[in-house]
């Protein structure tokens, strides 16, 4: 039925590696940009990051990790968020790399190392990394719509009863880029509240 009404309609498609690269080298998509999968650095294994076949693995910034647990009373309200419920987490380092430690069933807010600048016909969703998923770590990022730009705030959950590491300057989640027909009103046009996020955690607001 839709094909009859809209004969020139094209389905939304996922961007491949060469498309992601072309946009990023034009400073329109990802900065800084790594044009391959990096799984080893300075002779040591790392959680992979960089350009994949149909996506891009972004890194966790070492700058900030805010853990829920600054207070044990009151409530958490997305309409009136109290930043006092968050507490800063120390960055640790050993022979395996720099990392933050999440307590059992802990939940934290972090920030991505890379900055995004999305064309108005491209929307981003995130998918978890297998190595983290298999240790009980989930990274949730809400979709970034066409026209959005800034540093993504990352919501990371430890689903286990154990202390769990998340490594800074290494891959944390994979981004998938979808191109569709240009929208009537982009995120930039409507001046979305999370536009131009700085390289720091941005908490809930209305």
Which sequence positions are flagged as catalytic? 155
d(CA 87, CA 70): 5
Alpha carbon 91 to chain centroid, angstroms: 19
Quote helix, strand, coil % in the chain, to nearest 5. Answer: 10, 45, 50
Task: Write down the H helix ranges in the chain.
Answer: 2-5, 17-25, 130-133
d(CA 26, CA 24): 5
């Amino acid at each position: 039925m839709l094909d009859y009404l809209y004969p020139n309609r094209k389905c939304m498609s996922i961007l491949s590696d060469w498309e992601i690269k072309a946009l990023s080298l034009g400073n329109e998509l990802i900065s800084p940009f790594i044009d391959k999968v990096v799984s080893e650095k300075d002779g040591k294994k790392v959680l992979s990051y960089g350009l994949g076949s149909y996506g891009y693995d972004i890194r966790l910034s070492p700058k900030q990790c805010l853990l829920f647990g600054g207070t044990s009373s009151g409530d958490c309200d997305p309409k009136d968020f109290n930043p006092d419920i968050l507490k800063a987490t120390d960055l640790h380092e050993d022979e395996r790399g720099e990392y933050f430690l999440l307590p059992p069933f802990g939940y934290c807010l972090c920030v991505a190392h890379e900055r995004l600048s999305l064309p108005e016909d491209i929307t981003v969703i995130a998918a978890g990394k297998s190595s983290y998923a298999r240790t009980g770590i989930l990274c949730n990022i809400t979709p970034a719509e066409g026209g959005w730009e800034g540093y993504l705030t990352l919501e990371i959950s430890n689903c286990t009863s154990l202390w769990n590491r998340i490594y800074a300057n290494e891959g944390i989640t994979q981004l998938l880029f979808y191109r569709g027909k240009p929208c009537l009103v982009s995120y930039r046009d409507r001046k979305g509240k999370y536009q131009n996020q700085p390289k720091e955690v941005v908490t809930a607001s209305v």
